[in-house]
Amino acid sequence: MLIKGSNSEERLDFFADLYQTAKNNLAEQIEKMTIYREQYDGSPKIDGSSEEAHAVRNITYELIESQVSSSIPSGKCRPRSFSEHNDRCAKNAERLVNMQRDRLPFERLNDEDERRTYTFGSSIWLAEWDESIQTHFTSGDIRLTLISPQDFFPQPFITNEDDLEYFFARFLTTKDAIMRTYDISHEEAMKTAVEDGMDGFSAIDGEDGEGGIATVIVCYYKDADGLVGRFVYSGEVVLSDIRDYYARKKHRCTKCGRAESICTCDHPKIEEMNEEYEELTKDIVINGKVAIPATSPVIRDDGSTVMESHMETVISPDGSLSIGADGLPILQEVQMPKMRKTRIPYYKPKTLPIVIRRNISQDGSLFGQSDCAFIRPQQQEINKIESRIHDKLMYAGITPFLPEDARVELDNSVFGNVIKLREGQGKKDYGIIDTTPNIQQDITQSERIYQHARYILGITRSFQGQEDTTAKSGVAKQAQIQQAAGRLESKRRMKNFAYSQLDRIIFELYLAYSDEPRPVSYRDQFGTMHNESFNRYDYVRYDKETGDYYVDDEYIFSTDNSGALEDQREAMWELNRQNLLDGAFGMPNDAGTNLRYWRAQSKAHYPNADDMVEYWQSMYTAQQNQAMMQNALNAAASDPNIASNLKAQMGANQGIGGMNNGAV
């Protein structure tokens, strides 16, 4: 995209106009989203009518909430080209993205993401590297933000996020937060403003403006060279303008070229410059081995190594120095590769930092289709019928009739009002008229339309956890639930795809900015916890032909299909128990079998499973020691002395292991 403007004012005008164009293009879509949100909230509005419904049965909320899943997909990673080193790197990347599931507030973000996706048809994730996140050992980390589709304005007429040249995101924040985040003065912060018509907010400015609300507009874009930039503004104030957003930044003196901290110029001219590569000052050591040396040979364009002359002492055949007639060591000229400091290029992510999760793909649109759009006719019709039922019941009643000259008097009896009959009158002259209407047909029609809405979304009563008499057995009910889940499978696949794309962005951001190794713990197949680390230097490769180092990012991200089942812990516990009874772990009475079973339960987070693992581990170890001692006894049966020593040692081991107390 060609960016116009050289100074801040011109660039602000350019991006403000671009934002308005993107916003106008989505005006109709935003209006629909507002309607869908009101529908989800139970709005009584009737399309095409100025009158509102008197009663609302919110089937939209009910059916959307039936689909909301708290399951967070587990990330998977594999290398595009297999090798032991690449496979180990892929596992560390997988552990890294899964660790983010625990570190970041994914439970809250997933909760918002689910409802926004079904209501609006889409949900947008923004992943950024935040240098303000500091710990004792690390600098910077991932920050995830969930953007409402009502606050997301992409390039018009683009239907795939990979093809976007730019997008805008809109945020509401306080002016105090703007001053802290973008390091601007109080006077500049007062020039920021709330966008007109944004959710009914207005600036809450006192004399000094403290506590005021402002709208921040963030634009990520690709320039003419394909570099990702970021432009941030509010009102008439440019808050940030980074031309090459993913590049490493360093302040250097333009006179001497040195970093600001070591510049010695009398009048230094400091500017922010991009750092393209890192020059090593020492070897990079990973797992106790030198992974990247501090110096590397210089390679020509044709692939040959640049050589240079060095003088070295001559060594005699006996290993001693060769001494000349002058009594000095003899020197000779030798050719050696010319060395230089190893340069490792800083990695740059290649894509805009967003992921769009779609509910159902919509042809010709960047956004997905909303469930609210599909069942809106049914919601409107049910609101009308429920209002009719409401009106009928409100105006219904039982009306008495009696002769014109009848007298109703208050009596002190327990009955209160008493009707006194005149002479010659009887009960036949008195009665009631029941004006209660029949609403059975209205109720039947309301239920019929509700069924239509459920059928449209593919949701059965069993899937909702309601009573379903059509399923005569537990197997039949389970089949119904699976069938409903099958119709919703495409939505789950779209969610899994979005998470895999998000994992890819997280991985690239760590490759680019995580200078320190990041600890990643994991539990192995035996249930034992291990500590590993994600180190960006692990992904650095050496090109022998060019003599250059590069960063290998050829890894494929996906999600684990078993993640949803693992979230259903009770089901996993029961499945493991059944596998134990069926002999899948081995003989049920064997210590090794019980150890494997409790390791599986520990992985499924069964209460107190770790204690049982520790117990059966000691049992299994004692059993193995006893078997080894018995084998040694059998082998040494011919030597009484060895047999006697082995028997004594076996008895001691049995006492320690607890095998003699009959606990097994």
Tokens 């105090």 belong to residue: 176
Separation between Cα atoms, residue 491 and residue 496, nearest integer Å? 9
What is the pLDDT at residue 306? Answer: 83
Separation between Cα atoms, residue 121 and residue 60, nearest integer Å? 14
In this predicted model, what pLDDT tens digit does every residue of 322-370 receive, in sequence order? 887 787 888 888 888 888 899 999 999 989 999 999 999 988 899 999 9
Token output for 594:
């019980």
Instruction: Say if CB 520 and CB 533 are below 8 A apart.
Output: yes
Residue 596: band (very low, low, confident or very high) from pLDDT cuts 50, 70, 90 = confident
pLDDT at 573 exceeding the cut of 60? yes
pLDDT averaged over every residue in the chain: 84
In this predicted model, what pLDDT tens digit does every residue of 35-55 receive, in sequence order? 999 999 999 999 988 899 999
What is the pLDDT at residue 470? Answer: 56
What is the pLDDT at residue 102? Answer: 85
- Span 457-470, mean pLDDT? 65
In this predicted model, what pLDDT tens digit does every residue of 527-548 receive, in sequence order? 677 888 899 999 999 988 888 8
- Span 440-469, mean pLDDT? 81
| Residue 2: CA count within 13 A, CB half-sphere | 1
pLDDT at 64 exceeding the cut of 90? yes
What is the pLDDT at residue 357? Answer: 96
| Residue 356: CA count within 13 A, CB half-sphere | 26
Report CA dihedral (586, 587, 589, 593) to the nearest 10 degrees: -10
In this predicted model, what pLDDT tens digit does every residue of 380-430 receive, in sequence order? 999 999 999 998 888 877 777 777 777 766 655 565 667 777 767 777 777
Report CA dihedral (583, 585, 590, 591) to the nearest 10 degrees: -160
Separation between Cα atoms, residue 240 and residue 283, nearest integer Å? 37
Instruction: Say if CB 249 and CB 140 are below 8 A apart.
Output: no
DSSP string, 499-547: HHHHHHHHHHHHHHH--S-EEEEEE-TTS-EEEEEE-GGGGEEEETTTT
Tokens 């976007």 belong to residue: 164
What is the identity of the amino acid at 290?
V
What is the pLDDT at residue 572? Answer: 80
Helical residues (DSSP H) of 307-439, grouped into ranges: 371-395
In this predicted model, what pLDDT tens digit does every residue of 580-594 receive, in sequence order? 888 888 888 888 888
User: Distances from the Cα of 434 to the Cαs of 395, 400, 401, 431, in angstroms?
Assistant: 12, 9, 11, 10
Instruction: Say if CB 535 and CB 292 are below 8 A apart.
Output: no
Token output for 627:
């078997």
What is the pLDDT at residue 324? Answer: 79
The packing angle between helices 569-581 and 591-603, to 10°, is 170
| Residue 208: CA count within 13 A, CB half-sphere | 5
Token output for 402:
């009696």
pLDDT at 30 exceeding the cut of 90? yes
User: Distances from the Cα of 248 to the Cαs of 128, 129, 251, 274, 514, in angstroms?
Assistant: 14, 12, 10, 5, 12
> Quick one: which H or E segment has residue 450?
helix 440-457
Token output for 579:
């596998």
- Span 198-206, mean pLDDT? 48
Q: Which of 23-32, 288-297, 464-473 is the most confident on average?
A: 23-32
Rg (CA), the chain: 38
In terms of pLDDT, which residue wins out, 640 or 268? 268
Residue 167: band (very low, low, confident or very high) from pLDDT cuts 50, 70, 90 = very high
Separation between Cα atoms, residue 504 and residue 508, nearest integer Å? 6
User: Distances from the Cα of 354 to the Cαs of 70, 460, 503, in angstroms?
Assistant: 22, 34, 11
